Amino acid sequence: MNSDAALELITVSKTYGQIKALDKVSLAIQSSQFVGLLGQNGAGKTTLFQLLTGLFNNDSGQIQVCGHDIRRHPIDALSSIGVVFQQSTLDLDLTVQGNLKFHCLLHGLSRSEAEHRIASELERFDMTAVRYQPVRSLSGGNRRKVELIRSLLHRPRLLLMDEATVGLDPESRKSLVNHVISLCKERDLAVLWSTHIVEEIQQADRVVVLDKGKILADSSPDKLLAEEDSGVSLSDAFLHLVNLNKTIGVVHGHAC
């Protein structure tokens, strides 16, 4: 195990009946690294996030967050993680402040510290004006920003974003990606950003391609392009890898 890594997975597997949602996945992410996790529908991205956040247990393999084994020291591991799930988990009837405060109290922050952190994060994201509005009244983009703010309040070392830009227009999507990239560098945050929109991770330090539960590639966007030699774009390289995996599955008689 690499104890300096913000996140380390060693041969992690998870099955649902006959489906191998994750198949011996190994991966390490260091502080300040923005890692894009690219995979088509059903690739296993959300399953990975569910294991990393302790919602489900892996069948085999090891997961460490900032050196804490998620099974043996779940509180230490989970308190180092901030997460924005694919499905929104905000309480729509509470105000922005109410949602954020609830999160701070769950993480054991004092009321005064919670107030201070909420005010400064809202300001950073230019969201102070909506502080006392019910979340239901916010646009999709602003709701996602609230989720991002909430995920940062307890000062995590590892930020997990599972298709965080779903439903956003291209401009809001770009703005959210840029916010997270700058946070990653400013605060030494390790980021795992899952998506199937290739454009979102053009600026990533590394791109991990997941397909049918297996990692097909793990390298910088530039290297991936060079290795795949598949034409002009990262999107082409991704599709080329996934299609190649499909062909291999057919040749070996795998149920794909």
Ligand X SMILES: Nc1ncnc2c1ncn2[C@@H]1O[C@H](COP(=O)(O)OP(=O)(O)OP(=O)(O)O)[C@@H](O)[C@H]1O
Sites of contact with Mg ion (CB under 5 A): 45-46, 86
Which amino acid is located at 30 in the chain? Q
Cβ neighbours of residue 30 under 8 Å, at least 6 residues apart? 4, 5, 6, 190
Scored b (16 or more CB within 10 A) or e, 208-223 reads bbbbbbbbbbbeebee
Q: Shortest approach of ligand X to residue 159 CB, angstroms? A: 17
Based on the shown chain and the rule CB under 6 A, indicate whether residue 196 belongs to the binding site for ligand X.
yes
Nearer to ligand X, 97 or 194 (CB): 194
- The option from ligand X, Mg ion, none interacting with 130 (CB < 5 to 8 A, set by class) reads none
Stretch near ligand X under the rule CB under 6 A, chosen from 13-21, 65-73, 75-83, 105-113: 13-21
Shorter beta-carbon distance to Mg ion: residue 34 or 49: 49
Q: Which does 33 bind (CB under 5 to 8 A by kind): ligand X, Mg ion, none?
A: none
Please, which residue, 87 or 112, has the CB nearer to Mg ion? 87
3-state SS class at 17:
coil
Name residues contacting ligand X, limited to 79-138 (CB under 6 A).
86
Stretch 156-195: interaction string toward ligand X, x if CB under 6 A:
----------------------------------------
Binding mask 29-48 for ligand X (x = CB under 6 A): ----------x-xxxxxxx-
Three-state SS for 109?
Answer: coil
CA distances from 137 to 94, 123, 134, 173 (A): 10, 19, 6, 20
Residue 208 found at the interface with ligand X (CB under 6 A): no
Identity (one letter) of the amino acid at 95? T
Please, what is the minimum distance in Å from the beta carbon of residue 235 to ligand X?
Answer: 16
Which among 215, 214, 238 is positioned nearest to 225, based on CA atoms?
238
Q: With the C-alpha atoms ordered 66, 9, 212, 222, is the resulting torsion angle positive or negative? A: positive
d(CA 81, CA 53): 8
Angle at 23 between CA 42 and CA 2, to 5 degrees: 115
Within its chain, how far is the Cα of 233 from the centroid?
A: 23
- If binding is defined by CB under 6 A, does position 21 make contact with ligand X? yes
CB of 238 to Mg ion, least distance (A): 16
Chain contacts with ligand X (rule: CB under 6 A): 16, 19, 21, 39, 41-47, 86, 196
